[in-house]
Amino acid sequence: MPTTIQIDHETKEKIKTFGLKGETYQEIINRLYNIAIKDQLHQLLMSSKNTISLEEVRRRHAARWQK
């Protein structure tokens, strides 16, 4: 069931600039949403937070498995 959201004219025009010929606002918003989801996943996967360098892995491995 369709619903109505209230946005100002400026926001509507900004959304419109992302549209392709013949594309509805719903299609534009869904496409932008899908792009945003992919970008969030990319940022999460490429984040260096909670990671260690390969040098650190090698150092820990060498310390743990010394002969």
**Residue range 19-49, pLDDT digits in tens:** 999 999 999 999 999 999 999 999 988 887 8
Domain ranges of the chain: 9-64
Mean local confidence (pLDDT), 1-28: 95
Task: Produce one character per residue of 26-55: b if its CB has 16 or more CB atoms within 10 Å, e if not.
Answer: eebeeeeeeeeeeeeeeeeeeeeeeeeeee
The pLDDT, as a whole number, for residue 50 is: 81
In contact, 15 and 29? CB cutoff 8 Å: yes
